[in-house]
Amino acid sequence: MNSFSYLRVNSTREALNAVAADSGASFIAGGTNLIDLWKYDLSHPDLLIDLNQVDDLKALKSTGTGGVRLGALLSNADTAYHPVIESRYPLLSKAILAGASAQIRNMATNGGNLLQRTRCYYFYDANSPCNKRSPGSGCSALKGYNRIHAILGASEECIAVFPSDMCVGLAALGAVINIVGPNGDRRIPFADFHRLPGDRPDIDNTLKKGELITSIDLPAKGFEKNYSYLKLRDRHSYAFALVSVATGLELEGEIIKDARIALGGVSHKPWRVPEAEDLLRGKAVTPENFAQAADLILQGAKGYKYNQFKIELAKRAIVRNCMMALDPSTQRPGAQPSL
């Protein structure tokens, strides 16, 4: 029996005061990951601070610099189907809709999506050593069944991957996260929010204790003409990515003016290599050039017993997705790329 207290707050100030006053407190919004973690005894808050009445966090508005600010409490579904997101940031809409199920997307919030934890099976199994769950206990996945695990940025302490699709789209777009906390407001570029496991795999991101995500800023450039999100998984729906790729291209005729490529399902954070995007600028849109970029993105990739296949899969997925981005009609449900 887990006993806990519950507090409903109406403002971010009230939320910050409440969390500062109780070291065992946890914020709850959609609860789609927190309740799972609680059931598996991976989280046991003694105070739940319910944010759902904080209306300020539910807005979708202009950033004032040409971009769009997504409230942290907007649901994933409301974000994906919002006309502004569908028209200006279809890459993000597509990435969100590739994740979870319709029911979960209706409940899950944008802030919560960023904070979800890995789906490594050993993390959820109290009988298996896991450095993320119990630091210093070991990593069962290293020599265990590691089909869904990392090929990039892993450490000997942890080879888990971050499971979000939405965040792969946000990484490609170059979003910025707005945070409030006891020491004031701060903004974190998306690439700096999630962290690699290193020797502290128990820490997933750079959010500090007592801080709250209030919104996510999308930059003005949305790559709405040439984009694609490709998710490769064991089951067509309601499954996490083995490899996913978000691509945004800005073209001048057949020449690449700007490119963004982010990978999901391969690392402890969405994986983006700016040097690969630099390499594509000024080049023609050919499979050979995209393959060169893929080689750079996958430089240093290392597979384990059951996931070696992901390295070649990721390379092919990058090339295929970049070619699909040339013709966004391939993004219609059921459409097949003509490659």
Stretch that binds ligand SF4, among 39-47, 104-112, 118-126, 164-172 (CB under 6 A): 118-126
207 binds ligand SF4 (CB under 6 A): no
What is the Cα–Cα distance from 187 to 216, expressed in whole angstroms? 9
Nearest residue to 208 via CA among 12, 16, 56? 16
What is the Cα–Cα distance from 334 to 78, expressed in whole angstroms? 22
Minimum separation from the CB atom of position 34 to ligand SF4 (A): 17
Stretch that binds ligand SF4, among 8-16, 58-66, 136-144, 182-190 (CB under 6 A): 136-144
- DSSP assignment letter at 70: E
What is the Cα–Cα distance from 273 to 282, expressed in whole angstroms? 17
Q: Which two tokens stand for residue 179?
A: 């945070």
What is the Cα–Cα distance from 331 to 89, expressed in whole angstroms? 13
Stretch that binds ligand SF4, among 138-146, 229-237, 279-287, 329-337 (CB under 6 A): 138-146
Instruction: Give the residue with the Cβ less far from ligand SF4, 163 or 201.
Output: 201
Stretch that binds ligand SF4, among 1-9, 17-25, 135-143, 172-180 (CB under 6 A): 135-143
| Total residues at interface with ligand SF4 (CB under 6 A) | 14
Among 33, 75, 118, 226, binds ligand SF4 (CB under 6 A): 118
- With a CB cutoff of 8 Å and minimum separation 6, the contacts of 39 are none
Among 37, 96, 97, 130, binds ligand SF4 (CB under 6 A): 130
160 binds ligand SF4 (CB under 6 A): yes
Which residues on neighbouring strands pair with residue 198, listed in sequence order? Answer: none
Evaluated on CA atoms 26, 150, 79, 100, the torsion sign reads: negative
Which residues on neighbouring strands pair with residue 176, listed in sequence order? Answer: 189, 217
In the region spanning residues 4 to 63, those forming contacts with ligand SF4, defined by CB under 6 A, are none
- Determine contact, residues 242/313, Cβ cutoff 8 Å: yes
Minimum separation from the CB atom of position 127 to ligand SF4 (A): 12
What is the Cα–Cα distance from 150 to 300, expressed in whole angstroms? 12
Among 48, 97, 139, 242, binds ligand SF4 (CB under 6 A): 139
CB half-sphere exposure, 96, CA atoms < 13 A: 29
Q: Which two tokens stand for residue 8?
A: 């409903």
- For residues 256 to 285, the per-residue mask of contacts with ligand SF4, x marking binding by CB under 6 A and - elsewhere, is ------------------------------
123 binds ligand SF4 (CB under 6 A): yes
Stretch that binds ligand SF4, among 42-50, 82-90, 124-132, 170-178 (CB under 6 A): 124-132
Nearest residue to 120 via CA among 230, 27, 197? 197
CB half-sphere exposure, 280, CA atoms < 13 A: 33
Stretch that binds ligand SF4, among 15-23, 132-140, 270-278, 307-315 (CB under 6 A): 132-140
Among 105, 132, 194, 269, binds ligand SF4 (CB under 6 A): 132
Minimum separation from the CB atom of position 154 to ligand SF4 (A): 8
Q: Tell me which residues touch ligand SF4 (CB under 6 A).
A: 118, 120, 122-123, 130-132, 139-141, 158-160, 201
